[in-house]
């Protein structure tokens, strides 16, 4: 004699499977985050951006940080060749960044930056409570614009400190 399974038992068994099935498309679409490429003394903006473009598949988010004087490529008056590279980075999923310390010091004029450039803070001085203990982000930062990877975020903050 067979033992019939109740509808309630079937629905309880189906729930975990349904939850897994709903999660699968999101997991399948999620891509790893790319790295941080810094335009500094040794590397021009075009070189750092080119390395980011070559190292990351289209659509994978990566980060290009421009330090003075390489940040000129992120301004409205950038030469056409630099603007073209900048636009390729954005089209490929890259995020363009400058350091807040450079904006605060006047080395970069925030008014001249093209829309979408993210201004990033470095680590606060020791003893400061600006970055709450145990937190990765400042309270007023837009987390979705910054690296999710802890080592990439740490490198970014160290560079901007």
Distance CA 94, CA 56 (A): 9
Contact between 120 and 64 under an 8 Å Cβ cutoff? The reply is no
**Structural domain boundaries in the chain:** 33-159
Residue 19 clears pLDDT 90, i.e. is over it: no
Note the pLDDT tens digit of each residue in 146-159. 999 999 999 999 99
For residues 58 and 52, which has the higher predicted lDDT (pLDDT)? Answer: 52
What architecture is domain 33-159?
A: 3-Layer(aba) Sandwich (3.40)
The per-residue pLDDT for range 58-84, each reduced to its tens digit, is: 889 999 999 999 999 999 999 999 999
């Amino acid at each position: 004699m067979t033992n019939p399974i109740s509808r309630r038992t079937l629905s309880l068994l189906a729930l975990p499977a349904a939850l897994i099935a709903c999660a699968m498309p999101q997991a399948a679409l999620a891509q790893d985050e790319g790295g941080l490429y810094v335009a500094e003394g040794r590397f021009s903006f075009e070189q750092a951006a080119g390395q980011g473009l070559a190292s990351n598949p289209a659509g994978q988010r990566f980060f290009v940080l421009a330090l003075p004087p390489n940040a000129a490529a992120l301004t409205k008056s950038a030469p056409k060749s630099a603007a073209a590279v900048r636009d390729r980075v954005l089209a490929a999923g890259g995020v363009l960044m400058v350091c807040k310390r450079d904006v605060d010091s006047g080395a970069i004029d925030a008014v001249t930056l093209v829309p979408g450039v993210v201004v990033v803070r470095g680590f606060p001085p020791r003893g400061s409570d600006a970055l709450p203990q145990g937190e990765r982000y400042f309270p007023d930062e837009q987390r979705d614009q910054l690296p999710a990877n802890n080592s990439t975020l740490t490198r970014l903050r160290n560079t901007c400190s």
